[in-house]
Amino acid sequence: MSVLVVAEHRRGDLRDVSYEAITAGRELADERDGDLHVAVVGGDVDAFAEELNREGVDAIHAVDDGEEFDHNAYQAAAAELADRIDAGAVVLPNSVNGLDYAPALAEDLGVTLVTDAVGIEYDDGLTVTREMYGSKVETTVDVAGDRFVLTVRGGEWPPAEGVGDATVETAEVDLPESGARVTGFEEVGGGDVDIADADVLVSVGRGIEEEENLELVEELADALGATLSASRPIVDNGWLPKNRQVGQSGKVVTPDVYIAVGISGAVQHVAGMKGSDTIVAINTDPNAPIFDIADYGIVGDLFDVVPELVDEFA
Amino acid sequence: MKVLVTVKEVAEADDDFAIEGTDIAESDLEYDLNEWDDYAVEAAVQLAESGVADEVVAVTVGPERSEETIRMALAKGADRAVRVWDDALEGSFPDVASKVDLFEAVVDEEEPDLILGGVQAADTGFGATGVALAERIGFEHAAVVNHLDVDADEGIAHVHRELEGGVEELTDVDLPAVLTVQTGLNEPRYASLRGIRQAQRKEIAAKDLSDLGLTADDVESALTITSMYEPESESDAEIIEGDAGESAGRLAEVLREKGVGA
């Protein structure tokens, strides 16, 4: 049974998750002895189609409509192509845009949806590995039925490589009138400091508890000659401006040293800092995911450890 | 304008927890209002306070215990609440479609103009119910909204959607619509003592499947959790032992070796 992957692009570039979804889609197609079809909707579809023609892709469908993501167009194109090729599975990136139409697509097709897969296995039926309880546990989930929409987490599958010999065709799809219109884009939080340029970052998370306590990590950053950054909750609370946020929706940083203070290490945060040369974590919870990617860790209360560390450099 | 806000009581695992079968041991779980939904409640209440919304109704799917959570929404300013539960839902891992069945039935009764909910639930992290519901009931939608401005006269919600990498998409969504909100949309208020007292007197209508014209077959889930385990750590982190002073001292040495503070 064939598998359809829908690629994702933004402002003229295909996003890496598109190639990762192709790898996941190929895996499923192999298990089900089917072809792998890839759809690309909007933008420079011809150039995109060429780039998406990687090893393992059997067919590419280019739907020439609009420049940027429009969930109605994506949903309509995916639904129609899934019907045309009799797709057993539609695989999409578990991205912000994926989540903006995958649930509607599954509902439209009348098939089961499983989001944020980190692993898949197909043996008579689909079993998906997912995380729960804020990444504290992994689960395997059996999916009844043989048709589904699946979104795959970024960074879990290697990107498809090589040059394929897929057939490429322009697909005409009836696109509905949209009641949601994209009117533009906005870069957030330019600000005075670019944390992406810093060699050393002291990054603060939820563990700091109160805004007043930020002073403590500011002192540490000063003592170390480092730049202060933060995880999402600190920015959500308005304690630091958006340009200080590290993570999937914030900045991707690659400093020489990244010191995570009171940060548990949610997957969205890790996506923004895992490329740091040396990662240091200070956290009370020994099971916090941040320790999985740290090079050095202190399991302890930041309110005890940080003042001592400030003294060391004073 | 009537605003329906979907809220969920989510379970959070303690730092130390045990797994029993295919779930975390009940004694190691704590229940709270889903963080993302807290922002949705705040957005709904702000719409009421600014005169855009006439009524805010909170709806949840959950057992009796979850009334505690939904009272938080009432204490923060929702006018009344609907709680849906049925023995048929006990112990299952509901799929998106069955949750949508339940919410659709509530929408049919309430006929809201705008539905707000968190973009995802902290426990299952599915991130799907709102958008699937919109498709089912024929509403427009936008997911991962981090800025909201409702123009009731024009019938449009001007939203920002938070994309990856510090980029926001500006979108106009025709009402009626379902919007799923991201944290950071606003500053959720604490429930005041007065609000908490008032919440005790507000109505929480309990509905089961038959009240909603549904049967157990409608909510049969296509998903079954077959195993749960702690992910294997691939960490090769050097954990620095000792009291705060000792560990800070050792860490300082490491940092100096890396050229920090030089």
Contact assignment for B100 to A134 by CB distance below 8 Å: no
pTM of the predicted structure, to 2 decimals: 0.94
Tell whether B111 is within 8 A of chain A (Cβ). Answer: no
3-state SS, one letter per residue, for A141-195: EEECCCCEEEEECCCCCCCCCCCCCCEEEECCCCCCCCCEEEEEEEECCCCCCCH
In this prediction, residue A58 carries a pLDDT of 98
CATH superfamily assigned to domain B2-218:
HUPs (3.40.50.620)
Q: Are A174 and A66 in contact (CB under 8 A)?
A: no
The pair of structure tokens assigned to B147 is 């800025």
What is the bridge-based pairing of β-strands A3-6 and A36-41? parallel
pLDDT beyond 90 at A188: no
Q: Which residue of B19, B134, B223 is in closest CB contact with A104?
A: B134
* A193 — pLDDT class (breaks 50, 70, 90): confident
* A-chain residues near B99 (CB < 8 A): none
* B236 — pLDDT class (breaks 50, 70, 90): confident
Query: pLDDT tens, A203-238?
Result: 999 999 999 999 999 999 999 999 999 999 999 999
Q: By percentage, how much of chain A surpasses pLDDT 70? A: 99
Q: Which residue of A139, A299, A301 is in closest CB contact with B239?
A: A299
DSSP string, B202-217: S-EEEE-TGGGT--GG
* A-chain residues near B186 (CB < 8 A): none
In this prediction, residue B235 carries a pLDDT of 80
Contact assignment for A144 to B222 by CB distance below 8 Å: yes
pLDDT beyond 80 at B174: yes
CATH 3.40.50.620 domain span(s) along chain A: 2-170
Q: Does domain A195-313 have CATH number 3.40.50.740?
A: no
Q: Which residue of A99, A189, A292 is in closest CB contact with B233?
A: A292
* B-chain residues near A250 (CB < 8 A): 166
* A99 — pLDDT class (breaks 50, 70, 90): very high
Query: pLDDT tens, B119-165?
Result: 999 999 999 999 999 999 999 999 999 999 999 999 999 999 999 98
User: For A71, phi and psi rounded to 5 degrees?
Assistant: -65, -30
Give the gap in angstroms from C-alpha B177 to the nearest C-alpha of chain A.
9
Q: Are B245 and A300 in contact (CB under 8 A)?
A: no
Give the gap in angstroms from C-alpha B120 to the nearest C-alpha of chain A.
10
Segment A114-127 shows an average pLDDT of: 96
Other beta carbons within 10 Å of B26: 8
The alpha carbon dihedral of B158, B162, B165, B166 has a sign of positive
Segment A138-159 shows an average pLDDT of: 96
Segment A181-203 shows an average pLDDT of: 88
Q: Which residue of A137, A182, A309 is in closest CB contact with B230?
A: A137
Round to whole Å and give the CA distance between B144 and B57.
Answer: 21
Average pLDDT over chain B, rounded to an integer: 95
Query: pLDDT tens, B9-25?
Result: 999 998 889 999 999 99
pLDDT beyond 80 at B262: no
In this prediction, residue A190 carries a pLDDT of 62
Minimal-distance CA residue of chain A relative to B187 = A237
The pair of structure tokens assigned to B224 is 């079954």
* A297 — pLDDT class (breaks 50, 70, 90): very high
In this prediction, residue B233 carries a pLDDT of 75
CATH superfamily assigned to domain A2-170:
HUPs (3.40.50.620)
Query: pLDDT tens, B45-60?
Result: 999 999 999 999 999 9
In this prediction, residue B224 carries a pLDDT of 97
Contacts across the A-B interface (CB distance below 8 Å): 268
Q: Are B209 and B165 in contact (CB under 8 A)?
A: no
Residue A240, phi-psi category: left (phi > 0), alpha (psi -120 to 50), beta (remainder): beta
Say which amino acid occupies A211.
E
CATH 3.40.50.1220 domain span(s) along chain A: 195-313
Tell whether B234 is within 8 A of chain A (Cβ). Answer: yes
* B-chain residues near A200 (CB < 8 A): 260
Q: By percentage, how much of chain A surpasses pLDDT 90? A: 89
Contact assignment for A137 to B24 by CB distance below 8 Å: yes
User: For A5, phi and psi rounded to 5 degrees?
Assistant: -110, 135
Contact assignment for B173 to A187 by CB distance below 8 Å: no
Round to whole Å and give the CA distance between B14 and B25.
Answer: 10
